[in-house]
């Protein structure tokens, strides 16, 4: 699985998020937590560009 934009201009790790990006940043933060907590996947988020998520299904 390949997912783009998980770091969202660095806003997902920032306390200072512009108001116009707050809602989308909150959703991406929630998605990231859900993504990395999956027991059926080996996951990582790479700090390349706006963040790339990789997930490999475990047997």
Return the structure tokens found at 41: 């996947």
Mean pLDDT within 12-28:
97
Label residue 41 by pLDDT band (50, 70, 90).
very high
Distance separating alpha carbons of residues 43 and 36, to the nearest angstrom: 6
Distance separating alpha carbons of residues 1 and 10, to the nearest angstrom: 22
pTM for the model = 0.90
Q: How far is CA 48 from the centre of its chain?
A: 12
Q: Which residue has the tokens 């999956």?
A: 38
Say which DSSP state 57 is in.
Answer: E
What are the extents of the domains in the chain? 2-57
Name which of 12, 16, 6, 20 is nearest 53 in CA terms: 6
Share of the chain above pLDDT 70, in %: 100
């Amino acid at each position: 699985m390949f997912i783009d934009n998980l770091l969202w201009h660095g806003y997902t790790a920032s306390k200072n998020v512009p108001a116009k990006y707050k809602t989308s940043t909150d959703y991406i933060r929630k998605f990231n937590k859900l993504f990395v907590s999956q027991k059926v996947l080996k996951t990582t988020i790479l700090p390349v560009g706006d963040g790339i998520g990789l997930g490999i299904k475990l047997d």
